[in-house]
Amino acid sequence: MNDSPPPAKQNSVLEFSEIDFRRLTLHQGRGEPKTTILYDRGGQSASVSMSTLCIQSGWFSRALGSHSKQPPARHKVRLRGGFPFGVRAMLDFLTTGTYERTPEMAARFPLVTALDLHVHAHTAALKYDVPALSAHAIAAFLETALAILNTNFTTDNPDAFSRPFDTAVGSEVGAAIFEDSTATARRAPLPPDAHDFTPVAQIERLLNAVCLLWRITRSAQDPMRKQLAEVLSLHLHKLLRLSFFTAMMRDLDGLSGLVAKGLEEDGFEVRFGSLDWVDGKAIGVRFITWD
């Protein structure tokens, strides 16, 4: 079975608590049919009970619903595309109610951060119709983003991240993390500031994760995009000092509009002007408010 979207029908996915996760996990040991999930080009697999998959995922409910009378051994699903550890995060969440950045992921993709993983978990949730996972990933991303934005960063660090390594639009390393990519995967060395948790290094990682979100989501109505833009709007006075952020406002389709909308909901009327350029470098965004 491949991961072509099955015909849509009424969604029967339920929202449930941590107690429900424990109950579902207990059921897996009571003779329920298991489904083997193959992903990462067949390099990784997981065995999950059908009830766990079908209750929490509309996609799996539709895909497996018509095969419920088959022997358990015949239930195999191969998931194609996407970041493999985003799929693992989804499977971990389905069975335990949470996920984390694992040592294996850090070894294979040392430049992919915890923020990036939340983005990949969210996109996996959208693809496989797991609304509880999407809500969890968005909440975790925003919690970390707020903690970073509340730090005392002031300007770009010219010595940190000479280019956006793994998540920015057009990055070769970023392309290589997708299993259906034509780019040649390479084990890039850790940048000098990989273990730097100063405010400047942290804000760079956050902005890279925002670029990743825009790169792999296509809808202007994406819930993570919209909620993140509201958070960014609250810290716009600091972010506009960063040349990286002003470039994002110019190049990421729809970002400036979402940020402006977030400010308008707070009672401000905002108009973003074009960027000024000096010697080819963006130096600011005109930000206008009026009564």
Task: Identify the pLDDT of residue 176.
Answer: 31
CA 270, 273, 277, 280 torsion: positive or negative? positive
Straight-line distance from the first to the last Cα atom of the chain, in angstroms, rounded to the nearest whole number: 59
Among 36, 53, 57, which residue's Cα sits nearest to residue 45? 36
Instruction: Determine contact, residues 130/79, Cβ cutoff 8 Å.
Output: no
* Domain boundaries along the sequence of the chain: 81-289
Of residues 137 and 278, more confidence is placed in 137
Single out the residue of 72, 71, 75, 49 nearest to residue 63, CA to CA: 75
pLDDT at 2: 54
Inter-residue contact 1 to 63 (CB < 8 Å): yes
| Residue keyed to tokens 């022997």 | 71
pLDDT tens for each residue of 166-188: 343 333 333 333 333 333 333 33
Q: Which H helix or E strand runs over 237?
A: helix 236-239
Mean pLDDT of the chain: 75
Q: Structure pTM?
A: 0.74
Give the pLDDT score at 209.
95
Average pLDDT for 92-107: 94
Q: What is the Cα–Cα distance from 240 to 250, expressed in whole angstroms?
A: 12
Return the residue matching tokens 């000098």: 192
Does residue 246 have a pLDDT over 80? yes
pLDDT, position 133: 98
CA 87 to chain centre: 11
d(CA 221, CA 82): 20
Q: How far is CA 6 from the centre of its chain?
A: 24
126 Cβ contact list (under 8 Å, min separation 6) = 134, 217, 222
Instruction: Please state, in angstroms and as integers, the Cα–Cα distance from residue 117 to each residue in 54, 63, 98, 153, 231, following that order.
Output: 24, 26, 12, 23, 19
Determine whether 273 is exposed, middle or buried from the number of CB atoms within 10 Å of its CB (0-12, 13-18, 19+). exposed
- Which pLDDT score is estimated for 129? 96
Instruction: Kindly indicate the confidence band of residue 140, based on its pLDDT and cuts at 50, 70 and 90.
Output: very high
Region of residue 229 (phi > 0: left; psi between -120 and 50: alpha; otherwise: beta): alpha
pLDDT at residue 10 is higher than 80: no
pLDDT of residue 218: 86
Q: 145-166 pLDDT, tens per residue? A: 999 999 887 666 544 443 343 3
